[in-house]
């Protein structure tokens, strides 16, 4: 059924590789405010979207001043002593999670453009991934346009906007319109220029981007609603796929990227499964609710008799609460997570990743011995976490282990802004039969949320399900 609903299929090894995950945030006020604290709060709320580097650009007295570095948000901000220098009337910022290919400092955002006197005139932050960035970059470089980053599709967006600005009479909206005719893929972008801020989203609306208000005149743009909450703002709505919003002094202008507008949005369904925070809502649908419902559906799909339900902290917990609700089997938080550890994915080597899972989660032994256990995680990617957990539970004396994944099997990498491994490392790509996977994981039974149930929970097919189906909403060049 799914294949008929999606027009394009991406099948190319060149794109079968790692990409970035990121969070973007911006605030525009007609008056000077404490942009330093606001961006700190906003980026801190979006820390889960990127933990390797962060940065921001402030508009202060007509000047754009940027600061960026590797590290976690709070560590980064703690190192800045002259915080008052970063008070201004607008600010944009970025949290970045780079991957094996691109950990260079040169790739940290925001990217900014300078005039011939070295003064920053424009700055951008981007979440998503372009599928034709390298082609455009080569073309621009052949025309003498210089790039700072090693590989960054975000810088391609910046250089294109800069290229189109002069021929658009320095009109930012027109330059963005022209840019989006060239670029293909997933992009949620915030731009700071002159005395204005623009936010725009690709025509499929693949990565989230919403806006809110701090007061009647102050606009907030954020990857997730939790960013708006963090500064005490109120959510207005998500940007429409293909929408552009420009705020300038006290006026705001809403328009569409007309050439490319697509009425069938394709929001990344994995945002609900794993990536977004449970307290966020995307398109007015609360992420926690989706996760809880997926647990309920998992039980309906494959009931099992057990003594206890446990969730893999943190993203597997809401589904296990849902499973417990539907089954009547008690939920117990008996896998204890060391909160001070980063996501196990961040470590590049498989061997290290396996060790990290052990460090990260510790079971309460007495609660496990002799018990029939249902354990739920949001997803099974390589199978590393699940294998390790089963080992820990078996060692603790579990009588039976029934593993449940609150998402369908992941069979394809993401080309559009979520970091997933190459196909060859995906356990469900390598083993179609779930019995073989159950054997590898050493569990008594294994089930994945079915695609039909997932669509049912989301309430529509207007999502990108690429990692579950191998069918993507954007055609590669």
Tell me: cis bond preceding 110? Omega within 30 of 0 counts: yes
Q: What Rg value do the Cα atoms of the chain yield, rounded? A: 23
Report, in Å, the least distance between residue 344 CB and ligand AMP. 7
Toward ligand AMP, which CB reaches closer, 153 or 377? 377
The two structure tokens encoding residue 335: 């896998």
Question: Cβ 430 to ligand AMP, closest distance in Å?
Answer: 12
> Residue 298: in which H helix or E strand, if any?
helix 287-301
Query: Minimum CB separation from ligand AMP for residue 117, in Å?
Result: 42
Nearer to ligand AMP, 68 or 382 (CB): 382
CA neighbor of 73 nearest in space, from 40, 100, 115: 40
Residue 373 to residue 437: CA distance in whole angstroms: 18
Nearer to ligand AMP, 325 or 343 (CB): 343
CB-based contact 129:415 (threshold 8 Å): yes
Residue nearer to ligand AMP on the CB measure, 381 or 438? 381
Q: How far is the CB of 427 from ligand AMP (least distance, A)?
A: 7
Distance CA 425, CA 420 (A): 9
Q: How far is the CB of 420 from ligand AMP (least distance, A)?
A: 5
E-only strand ranges, 356-410 = 361-363, 372-377, 400-405
Is 120 or 405 the residue whose CB approaches ligand AMP more closely?
405
Considering the complex, state which of residue 198 and residue 389 has its C-beta at the smaller distance from ligand AMP: 389
Residues that bind ligand AMP (CB under 6 A): 274, 312, 315, 343, 345, 377-386, 418-420
Q: At what angle do helices 153-167 and 133-142 cross, to 10 degrees?
A: 50
Of these residues, 22, 210, 414, 467, which one is catalytic?
22
Give the list of residues 6+ apart from residue 439 with CB closer than 8 angstroms, or none: none
414 noted as active-site residue: no
- Torsion sign across C-alpha atoms 32, 36, 41, 47: positive
Tokens 């083993």 found at = 431
In the block, tokens 């080992």 appear at 391
Q: What minimum distance in Å lies between the beta carbon of 49 and ligand AMP?
A: 10
According to DSSP, the β-strands at 372-377 and 400-405 are parallel
End-to-end CA distance of the chain: 25
Cβ–Cβ contacts within 10 Å for residue 387, how many? 19
* Closer Cβ to ligand AMP, 274 or 415, answer by number: 274
Nearest distance from C-beta of residue 316 to ligand AMP, angstroms: 7
Inter-residue contact 459 to 411 (CB < 8 Å): no
Pairwise CA distance, residues 42 & 37, whole Å? 9
Q: Which residues form the catalytic set?
A: 22
């Amino acid at each position: 059924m799914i294949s008929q609903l999606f027009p394009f299929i991406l099948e190319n090894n060149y794109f079968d590789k790692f990409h970035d995950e990121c969070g973007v945030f911006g605030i525009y006020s007609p008056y000077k405010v404490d942009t330093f604290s606001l961006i700190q709060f906003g980026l801190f709320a979006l820390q889960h979207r990127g933990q390797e580097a962060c940065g921001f650009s402030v508009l202060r007295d007509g000047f754009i001043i940027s600061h960026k570095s590797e590290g976690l948000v709070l560590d980064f901000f703690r190192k800045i002593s002259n915080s008052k220098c970063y008070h201004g009337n607008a600010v944009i910022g970025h949290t970045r999670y780079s991957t094996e290919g691109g950990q260079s400092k040169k790739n940290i955002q925001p990217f900014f453009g300078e005039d011939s006197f070295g003064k920053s005139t424009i700055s951008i932050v981007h979440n998503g991934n372009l599928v034709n960035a390298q082609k455009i970059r080569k073309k621009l470089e052949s025309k003498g346009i210089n790039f700072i980053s090693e590989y960054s599709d975000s810088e391609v967006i910046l250089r294109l906007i800069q290229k189109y600005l002069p021929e658009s009479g320095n009109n930012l909206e027109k330059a963005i319109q022209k840019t989006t005719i060239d670029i293909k893929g997933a992009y949620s972008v915030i731009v700071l220029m002159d005395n204005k801020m623009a936010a725009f989203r690709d025509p499929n609306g693949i990565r989230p981007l919403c806006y809110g208000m701090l007061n009647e005149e102050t606009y907030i743009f954020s990857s997730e609603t939790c960013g708006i909450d963090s500064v005490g703002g109120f959510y207005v709505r998500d940007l429409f796929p293909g929408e552009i919003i420009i705020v300038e002094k006290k006026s705001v202008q809403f328009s569409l990227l007309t050439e490319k507008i697509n009425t069938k949005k394709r929001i990344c369904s994995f945002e609900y499964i794993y990536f977004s925070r449970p307290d966020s809502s995307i398109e007015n649908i609360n992420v926690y609710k989706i996760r809880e419902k997926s647990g309920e559906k998992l039980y309906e799909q494959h009931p099992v008799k057990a003594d206890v339900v446990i969730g893999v902290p943190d993203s597997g917990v809401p589904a296990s609460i849902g499973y417990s609700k539907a089954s009547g089997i008690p939920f117990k938080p008996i896998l204890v997570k060391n909160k001070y550890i980063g996501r196990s994915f961040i470590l590049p080597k498989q061997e290290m990743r396996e060790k990290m899972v052990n460090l990260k989660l510790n079971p309460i032994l007495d609660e496990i011995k002799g018990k029939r256990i249902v354990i739920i995680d949001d997803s099974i990617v390589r199978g590393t976490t699940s294998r390790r957990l089963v080992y820990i539970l078996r060692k603790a004396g579990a009588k039976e282990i029934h593993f449940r994944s609150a998402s369908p099997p992941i069979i394809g990498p993401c080309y559009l802004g979520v970091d997933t491994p190459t196909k060859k490392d995906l356990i469900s790509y390598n083993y179609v039969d779930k019995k073989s996977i159950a054997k590898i994981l050493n569990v008594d039974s294994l089930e994945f949320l079915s695609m039909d149930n997932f669509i049912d929970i989301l309430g529509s097919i207007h999502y990108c399900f690429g990692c579950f189906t191998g069918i993507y909403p954007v055609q590669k060049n």
